[in-house]
Amino acid sequence: MLISVSDDGYVLTFAVPPTYTVTAGDSLCIRHPSLVVKGEQFTDAEKEKIVLVRRAGVRRFFLSYTQCQSDIDEFRDLVGCDSEVMLKIEDKKGLEFVAREFRKCDELTLVAARGDLFVEVDRPHHILAAQRLILAHDPEAMVGSRILLSLVKSQVPSAADLSELAWLWDIGYRKFMLCDELCLKEELLATAVNVFEAFFRDYPRSLQI
């Protein structure tokens, strides 16, 4: 439980401290509804980076922790309305936005960002309904993270991983995104790509038998 935040916003005091050291770049999940994030939506440093990548010709972006239409509007003002934006849905506020406000258009694609979303939902099994909700509001939605993680320890994917991949396909997902655990190591990424290639080649065909 979070007890207090220092005036400068850099020191958090918890009733029960974390059991590990939180270092720069680590994620910190605070699920209590009283949490309020203050300040500008995008920092000056982020705005400078966006200008640079726009000048380089990049027109595809991901927006993390999308929670409301104003998040999207402000981001599109920065990246340009001609850019394609993938909206990562990563918490309950994001799911509420999808259910009540999101309007699909060609330049916007929802992403079931399961890495954080799985942590943010109230119960582990709620991730299943969340993935269906996102797909129901965007038939072209992408699903990402926590996919084929058995490959981290074995070159052969587990039956559970393959069954989940089949379930995601069966409910309608056609765009998949792998997580850092696989993408940051060339050998693991190559294995995952091979598994996907075999799956996409054989599984849809098997449904027609």
CA 181 – CA 151 distance, rounded (Å): 10
pLDDT, position 189: 96
pLDDT, position 209: 61
pLDDT, position 140: 97
Question: Can you point out the beta strands (E) in the chain?
Answer: 2-5, 12-14, 60-63, 84-89, 108-113, 142-144, 175-177
Say what the pTM is: 0.85
Domain harbouring 101, CATH code: 3.20.20.60
The DSSP 8-state label assigned to residue 22 in this structure reads -
Return all residues near 135 (Cβ < 8 A) that are at least 6 apart: 112, 141, 171, 172, 173
- Domain assignment present for 18: no
- Domain assignment present for 2: no
Domain count, the chain: 1
* Cβ 131 vs Cβ 145: under 8 Å: no
CA 4 – CA 155 distance, rounded (Å): 46
- Domain assignment present for 137: yes
- Domain assignment present for 11: no
- Domain assignment present for 136: yes
CB atoms within 10 A of CB 86: 20
- Domain assignment present for 166: yes
pLDDT, position 162: 97
Nearest to 152, CA basis, from 177, 118, 189:
189
Q: Mean pLDDT per 10-residue run, the chain (209 residues)?
A: 77 77 72 76 90 93 95 94 95 96 96 95 96 98 96 96 97 95 94 96 84
Nearest to 113, CA basis, from 48, 160, 64:
64
- Domain assignment present for 174: yes
CA 164 – CA 167 distance, rounded (Å): 5
pLDDT, position 22: 72
CA 84 – CA 61 distance, rounded (Å): 6
Domain that holds residue 92: 44-206
- For β-strands 142-144 and 175-177, DSSP reports them as parallel
- Domain assignment present for 57: yes
